[in-house]
Amino acid sequence: MNKNHKKVYSGIGGQAVIEGIMMKNKSEYAVAVRKSNGEIVVKKDTYLMMQEKFKILGLPFIRGIFSMVDSLILGSKTLEYSASFFDDEEIVEESKLDKWLNEHLSGKTLSIVMGIVTAISVVLALFIFALVPAAIGSFCKSTFNIERHFVTAFIEGITRIVLFILYIKLISRMEEIRRTFEYHGSEHKCINCIENGWDLTVDNVMKASKEHKRCGTSFLVYVMIISIFLFMFINPPTLLLKFVSRIILIPVVAGVSYEILRLMGKFDNKFVDIISRPGMWMQGLTTHEPDRSEVEVAIKAVEAVFDWKKFKEANFK
């Protein structure tokens, strides 16, 4: 193993899918999935991001919003692909609702229903992470006669962070989510292994850190922290206007958070370590230590889109 402590930005990233990993390098991405019989299948394809199609969308503070949209689109696509292996191979006991939907709905109608379910999920998430914290902040203001707005904005922000932690804690109790978090850890370990200048082997990857500064979890943490400071200067007179302002300003907060995340990933010094620490702490909840078989899948995904040997030769002589 290369003992060089220098860390070099590789530009690759990815996400965990069902029993596998998606890794992306520029416009190429690969999905590696371990099937029930132990076989690892790898699918390679291309995805052109919005900012590559329209250069204006690549400007600082704008690119973060559209990068988030691209991540959601590609993430949904690769998750659906990984799930297809287990829909065909595994017999899953259907709920009464699932049976009714499959028997009575098909084609476009079923797609519409699933779209409605997705929309309801988004609305519910906005309710939990936007309206509830705002309501609690307003409640504390009136109950305890808090005159300074920055105090209630701070309470609102802390409430949002606590709700997020409780949500992650709750879903991590599910077996499927726990394994997804393990694959999430293997993704980070592979990238850290490469950016440390080590050979991409199972042994080296297992020794690498499962936290990474460019993680989407860190992005969400920056969103929550930045929103605390931003909303200290915005004080709508009613709860409804406060809620609306939180929704409208999501693109602003996301744009700033994305720029911070990019900077954290490109530099490696004491200052960056301090700034990135909250996000790394939160990754302790969303990444788990993978086993060797999960790391093998991650390596397959990386090698399909990234020449780590060439990267090492160019940056770690």
Closest CA to 44 of 76, 21, 16: 21
Q: What is the 3-state secondary structure (H, E, C) of 228-253?
A: HHHHCCCCCCCHHHHHHHHHHCHHHH
If pLDDT is split at 50, 70 and 90, which confidence band does 248 have? very high
Q: State the pLDDT at residue 184.
A: 97
Q: What is the mean pLDDT of residues 11-33?
A: 96
* Average pLDDT, rounded, for the chain: 88
Give domain limits for the chain: 13-90+97-312
Using CA atoms, how far apart are residues 164 and 168, in angstroms rounded to an integer? 6
The DSSP output letter for 93 is P
If pLDDT is split at 50, 70 and 90, which confidence band does 3 have? very low
Q: State the pLDDT at residue 313.
A: 95
Q: State the pLDDT at residue 126.
A: 75
Q: State the pLDDT at residue 267.
A: 79
Q: State the pLDDT at residue 2.
A: 47
Torsion of CA 112, 118, 120, 122, to 10 degrees: -150
Sheet containing 40-46: which strands, arranged edge to edge? 13-17, 20-25, 28-34, 40-46
Q: State the pLDDT at residue 270.
A: 85
Using CA atoms, how far apart are residues 224 and 109, in angstroms rounded to an integer? 37
Most confident of 128-142, 235-249, 289-303: 289-303
Using CA atoms, how far apart are residues 24 and 76, in angstroms rounded to an integer? 14
Strands (E), the chain: 13-17, 20-25, 28-34, 40-46
If pLDDT is split at 50, 70 and 90, which confidence band does 263 have? confident
Q: What is the pLDDT of residues 139-175, one digit of tens each?
A: 999 999 988 999 999 999 999 999 999 999 999 999 9
Q: What is the pLDDT of residues 168-199, one digit of tens each?
A: 999 999 998 999 999 999 999 999 999 999 99
Within 13 Å, how many C-alpha atoms sit on residue 51's CB side?
Answer: 16
Q: Which residues pair with 40 in a beta bridge?
A: 34
Using CA atoms, how far apart are residues 249 and 241, in angstroms rounded to an integer? 12
Q: State the pLDDT at residue 102.
A: 60
| pTM of the complete model | 0.86
- For the chain, how far is it from start to end, CA to CA, in angstroms? 13
Q: What is the pLDDT of residues 92-124, one digit of tens each?
A: 445 555 565 566 555 555 455 556 666 676 677
